């Protein structure tokens, strides 16, 4: 399904495929804001969510938490077939995701280190970066240590970069000149 060796693949396709679930995590519905008419829709969230989309109206001053909120109740251009009212695409989670991979490339928004879904909290555990046709990553362990990985320089090991506690606001947005490709959140065990 994917090329092997040094052939190029987009990490977002890999993440999307790896995150497919046998059971849906959430239900999405178009809901009219004027009347009670609803239409079932394709679910917007699994263990992977695409955040690079116009309807989410992403501004540089935004945060990942805010964008997820808008993904769960998203503007749409669909009009109600009963009353012509505007419809929102609302997503209801059946349960909190254990793992959530977000595609928000080249982002300048504040990368929240925590996402709350009901009683459950997901923590930022990884960031994949892209630049010059090469991916690198940071892994954040349960003790908030940040580890850097680059297959070309660190090989099969990782390099300690410091603590994720009290990092400067845009710390996670860039890494050695490369920009964000994916954000990985997970519930701690």
Binding site for Zn ion (CB under 5 A): 32, 34-35, 37, 80, 82-83, 85
- Reading the block at residue 23, the tokens are 């059971």
Q: Which two tokens stand for residue 39?
A: 């239409």
DSSP classification of residue 107: -
Rounded to whole angstroms, how far apart are CA atoms 161 and 172?
A: 12
Q: How far is the CB of 55 from Zn ion (least distance, A)?
A: 19
Q: Do 163 and 146 contact (CB within 8 A), yes or no?
A: yes
Helix (H) or strand (E) holding 15: helix 11-18
CB of 23 or CB of 36, closer to Zn ion = 36
Which residue number, 35 or 39, has a Cβ lying nearer to Zn ion? 35
Q: Following CA atoms 162, 166, 169, 171 in sequence, which dihedral angle do they give, to the nearest 10 degrees?
A: 0
* Residue with smaller CB distance to Zn ion, 31 or 67: 31
Choice between 72 and 80, CB closer to Zn ion: 80
Closest distance to Zn ion from the beta carbon of 34 (Å): 5
Helical (H) or strand (E) element with 12 = helix 11-18
Provide the minimum distance between the beta carbon of 56 and Zn ion in the complex, in angstroms, as a whole number: 23
Minimum separation from the CB atom of position 79 to Zn ion (A) = 8
* Smallest distance, Zn ion to C-beta of residue 30, A: 10
**Between residues 41 and 182, which has the closer beta carbon with respect to Zn ion?**
41
């Amino acid at each position: 399904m994917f090329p092997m060796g040094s052939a190029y693949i987009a990490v977002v396709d890999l993440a999307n495929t790896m995150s497919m679930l046998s059971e849906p995590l959430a239900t999405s519905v178009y809901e009219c804001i004027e009347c009670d008419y609803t239409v079932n829709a394709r679910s917007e969230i699994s263990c992977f969510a695409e955040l690079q989309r116009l309807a989410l109206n992403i501004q540089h001053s935004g945060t990942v938490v805010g964008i997820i909120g808008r993904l769960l109740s998203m503007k749409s251009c669909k009009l109600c077939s009963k009353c012509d009212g505007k419809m929102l695409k609302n997503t209801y989670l059946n349960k909190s995701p254990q793992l959530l991979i977000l595609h928000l490339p080249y982002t300048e928004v504040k990368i929240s280190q925590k996402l709350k879904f009901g009683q459950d909290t997901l923590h930022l555990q990884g960031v994949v970066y892209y630049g010059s046709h090469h991916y690198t990553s940071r892994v954040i362990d349960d003790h908030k240590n940040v580890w850097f990985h680059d297959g070309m320089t660190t090989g099969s090991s990782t390099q300690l970069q410091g603590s994720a506690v009290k990092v400067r606001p845009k710390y996670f947005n860039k890494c050695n000149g490369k920009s964000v490709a994916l954000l990985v959140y997970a519930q701690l065990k």
